[in-house]
Amino acid sequence: MGQNPTDYGSAPDLRVALGPLRLANPVLTASGTFGYGLEFADFVDLSRLGGVVVKGISLKPRPGNPPPRLAETPSGMLNAIGLENVGVEKFLTDKLPPLLKRGAVVIVNILGNTVEEYAELARILSGASGIAALEINISCPNVKEGGMAFGTDPRMAAAVVAAVRANTPLPLITKLSPNVTSIADIARAVVEAGSDILSCINTVSAMAVDPFSRRPKLANVVGGLSGPAVKPIAVRCVYETVRAVSCPVIGIGGIQTALDALEFLVVGASAVQVGTANLVRPTSSLEIVDGIERFLRRQGLAAVTDYIGTLDTQCRFPFADESCPVETA
């Protein structure tokens, strides 16, 4: 007699569909925390991940900001790397081919200082084979508008997405910034402009100082805060975004364990990206895949889609079922 797929111990189906993007599981790596993917290939079987989002790519190489560019904070990390990257030409010749050979689902994060730069990047990358999707970083400063970040204004955010959409048939993910009054307003604007998927959140604008030297800990003074400290902000942003738009949402922010990832999934995210945890424990992303699978088995769920978006908004005690632990090393 065959085993019921929901019996304890049976392998659940981890596949997710994010609009036109199909993934083997809901765990991806976040841009800027996993290099070009190849740096982690000795630690992680890249083909087992839902996807690898490479560090942001610009038209021309960028040297980034002067050091110090990183600073540890309580339960988090500040960074002001300055979007250092090799540029699109070198990415296509030196980084993409070996990444594809390892079986990775490759998502390219793109950035620019003008709408035209985003559009040109989309055109160039669409001519390469093997790229699964583009993720648009709209947290970059628009030099034509005096340096205001594209992602803080619905009109400017929509202009970027519309230009990229006009230059690529690839699935589009737009990465939203939490440094706004209403993330829902930005979400609606970029979806209307042609984004298939949203990812949120990018880092939270923050700074740290040394009281003895009286100097900032980053040469750039202000940087982006990531890590466990931002997770409650990120979960709230995903919750609001899912209710504002009908497209799939990817949750990002402070995910260290499978339980962290499950918080995002239950509020409605269709997938998650693992970021700062990669810098602490290179195998984090795969451990989270395995932890989600164990959780679903113990919950008697046949598929991860049976869990996504099932939040019960009534707050009751106890919060957790102690009979169903998830090991999250």
pLDDT tens, position by position, 106-116: 999 999 999 99
pLDDT tens, position by position, 190-237: 999 999 999 999 999 999 999 999 999 999 999 999 999 999 999 999
Classify residue 114 by burial, with Cβ atoms within 10 Å: 0-12, 13-18, 19+: middle
> pLDDT tier at 327 (50, 70, 90 boundaries)?
low
Q: Where are the alpha helices (DSSP H) in 16-87?
A: none
233 close to 255: Cβ distance less than 8 angstroms:
no
How many C-beta neighbours within 10 Å does residue 101 have? 12
Decide if 237 is catalytic. no
Q: What is the mean pLDDT of residues 151-176?
A: 97
156 close to 114: Cβ distance less than 8 angstroms:
no
Bigger pLDDT: 143 vs 321 = 143
Among residues 140, 200, 237, 247, which one is catalytic? 140
| Structural domain spans, the chain | 16-306
Q: Cβ neighbours of residue 323 under 8 Å, at least 6 residues apart?
A: none
Rounded Cα gap, residues 242 and 250, in angstroms = 10
Q: Which residue has the tokens 């699964």?
A: 132
Is the confidence at residue 329, as pLDDT, over 50? no
pLDDT tens, position by position, 29-84: 999 999 999 999 999 999 999 999 999 999 999 999 999 999 999 999 999 999 99
pLDDT tens, position by position, 241-269: 999 999 999 999 999 999 999 999 999 99
pTM of the model: 0.93
Rounded Cα gap, residues 156 and 153, in angstroms = 5
Is the confidence at residue 3, as pLDDT, over 50? no
Rounded Cα gap, residues 50 and 288, in angstroms = 11
pLDDT at 318: 67
> pLDDT tier at 146 (50, 70, 90 boundaries)?
low
Q: What is the mean pLDDT of residues 293-315?
A: 95
How many C-beta neighbours within 10 Å does residue 194 have? 16
Report the CATH number of the 16-306 domain. 3.20.20.70
Residue 108 amino acid letter = V
SS3 for 326?
A: coil
User: What's CA 123's distance to the chain center, in Å?
Assistant: 22
**Percentage of the chain modeled with pLDDT above 90:** 88
pLDDT at 49: 98
